[in-house]
């Protein structure tokens, strides 16, 4: 009985992994067994980093809003509390963007809430 080499399905599966490993260094890009492990780790890090990126950007926005508030003589927590009680529904991303690009508009928003 002839030896079965798994056919085109296995080759297609291997090629999918090697395609994902494109750009890796050394044997990690062209040796299936090593590339498979490298790709699995890369996917694990990508999954985790998609969640970490959300936290990181939120921290950045809060820092920017806080800095803009300090220049106007307010604290971040007081401003956010007053925005909520004043029913001004701007998220932190938009507030940070306004604080950077249009300080006059940011000042008007803050004073409306206060």
pLDDT over 90 (residue 29): yes
- 82: CB partners within 8 A, 6+ apart: 113, 114
What are the C-alpha distances in Å from 113 to residues 9, 68, 90, 92, 106?
Answer: 63, 15, 11, 15, 11
From CA 75, how far away is CA 61, in angstroms rounded?
A: 15
| CATH ID of 7-113, from 1.10.599.10, 2.60.120.620, 2.30.30.100, 1.10.1900.20 | 1.10.1900.20
Structure confidence by residue, pLDDT tens digits, 65-100: 999 999 999 999 999 999 999 898 999 999 999 999
- 62: CB partners within 8 A, 6+ apart: 76, 92, 96
Domain boundaries, the chain: 7-113
From CA 70, how far away is CA 45, in angstroms rounded?
A: 36
Q: What is the pTM (predicted TM-score) of this model? A: 0.78
């Amino acid at each position: 009985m002839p030896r079965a080499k798994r056919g085109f399905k296995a080759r297609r599966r291997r090629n999918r992994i090697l395609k994902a490993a494109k750009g890796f260094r050394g044997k990690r890009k062209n040796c299936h067994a090593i590339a498979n492990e490298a790709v699995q780790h890369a996917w694990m890090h990508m999954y985790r980093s998609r969640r970490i990126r959300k936290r990181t950007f939120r921290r950045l926005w809060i820092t920017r809003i806080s800095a803009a508030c300090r220049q106007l003589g307010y604290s971040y927590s007081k401003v956010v509390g007053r925005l909520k009680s004043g029913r001004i529904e701007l998220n932190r991303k938009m507030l940070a963007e306004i604080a950077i690009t249009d300080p006059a508009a940011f000042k008007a928003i803050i004073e409306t809430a206060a």
